[in-house]
Amino acid sequence: MSEGPRGQLPPPLSQPLPRIIEGPRVTLRSHDVGAASTLGDLVMSNLDHLSILPFAEREPLTLDERRAMIEEWELTRLAGRDCVYGIWRDDQLIGSCGLHRRLPDPAALEIGYWIDVAHEGQGFVRESVLLLTETAFTFEEIDVAVICFDVQNDRSRAVATSCGFQTVRTVEMAQEFRTSAASGREDVTEMRRAAFDVAWRDETG
């Protein structure tokens, strides 16, 4: 699980992020209002598991509230700001992830993610992160992908490390991203374009 230091927003991306990203075992699809109840069911069944993430404190949402949130996500995607994706394994929604234009560095995109507890430890988050990193670097203006996570979040640290991200600093967590379950400090990890292994798909089975 990961959420992410913030500051003044950079300019939008040169074009919207893609709606669908195909991987060897999972497909990332921007959330659709038609699947709002499916997303809601998955969030609620994992709420304790997700308590360290800021959005969990806004739950439970009504179905109309969730639909409105998904509609807002699509507007931010079209504006070149963010895209929040469902992680789909065949026809099953197993998690959520995203690329976010919310760091002050104009050459950076932040990656966030969470996975259904029943699907942890099976490499689906790692694949999703690599798909998002690969997608980030299709934009000429992006040179670094960033993952931020609570210093106590060992699972997120393991995902970032397995994907080749390097810890660059530890910072105080912005107030708006703190929760009652958070430590108040987060590690910032980075993957530079030049260091990204473009052949990662060959090793994913």
The pLDDT tens digits for 85-135 are 999 999 999 999 999 998 999 999 999 999 999 999 999 999 999 999 999
CA 151 to chain centre: 17
Q: Which of 3.30.470.20, 3.40.630.30, 3.90.1720.10, 3.40.50.880 would CATH assign to domain 20-195? A: 3.40.630.30
β-pair type (108-115, 185-192)? unpaired
Look at residue 1 and tell me whether its pLDDT is greater than 60.
Answer: no
The amino acid sitting at 77 is R
pLDDT at 7: 60
pLDDT at 157: 95
pLDDT at 4: 42
Look at residue 2 and tell me whether its pLDDT is greater than 50.
Answer: no
Q: Which has the higher per-residue pLDDT, 7 or 106?
A: 106
Q: Which has the higher per-residue pLDDT, 9 or 8?
A: 9
Domain boundaries, the chain: 20-195
Q: Taking a C-beta distance cutoff of 8 angstroms, is the pair 183, 170 a contact?
A: no
CA distances in angstroms from 205 to 116, 147, 169, listed in the order given: 20, 24, 32
Look at residue 10 and tell me whether its pLDDT is greater than 60.
Answer: yes
Three-state DSSP state, 22: strand
Q: What is the mean pLDDT of residues 23-36?
A: 98
Predicted confidence (pLDDT) per residue in 142-199, tens digit: 999 999 999 989 999 999 999 999 999 999 987 777 777 778 899 999 999 999 999 9
Q: Taking a C-beta distance cutoff of 8 angstroms, is the pair 50, 43 a contact?
A: yes
Give the span between the Cα atoms of 160 and 29, in whole angstroms.
Answer: 21
pLDDT-derived band at 6 (thresholds 50, 70, 90) equals low
Q: Is 89 exposed, middle or buried (0-12, 13-18, 19+ CB in 10 A)?
A: middle
Q: What is the mean pLDDT of residues 30-50?
A: 96
pLDDT at 203: 80
Give the span between the Cα atoms of 204 and 105, in whole angstroms.
Answer: 31
pLDDT at 76: 97
